[in-house]
Amino acid sequence: MKFDEMLQSIFDAIKHRDLDKLFSTASFDEDVVMIIPNGAFIKGRSAVANLHAAWFADPDWQMDMKLLRSIETPEMGFALVQVDYK
């Protein structure tokens, strides 16, 4: 999968609150670490999955994402995304 296709899959998974699709886009193993907006560290696949499951279950939010810039090389991908979270 190309980087731009992966980004679109992530955007779609979040928009449709699809945890399985989100987790199919990248490697979420037990070593995964996520830093959330309040600065807290979420460590491990199950903790990240539980966080997203609770978030996706909450009906009172909407998130619009606009890709402003992306760079892809054979070694890495970078994306600058403007997010409007309501």
Q: What is the pLDDT of residues 21-69, one digit of tens each?
A: 999 987 778 889 999 989 999 999 999 999 999 999 999 999 999 999 9
For the chain, the domains span 3-85
Are the beta carbons of 64 and 42 closer than 8 angstroms? no
DSSP 44-65: SHHHHHHHHHHHHH--S--EEE
**Any idea which architecture 3-85 has in CATH?**
Roll (3.10)
The whole-number pLDDT of residue 29 equals 81
Beta-bridge mates of residue 84: 64
Query: Which DSSP category does 2 fall into?
Result: -
CB 67 within 8 A of CB 78: no
Q: How many CB atoms lie within 10 A of CB 27?
A: 8
pTM over 0.85? The answer is no
* Digit-coded pLDDT (tens) for 7-16: 999 999 999 9
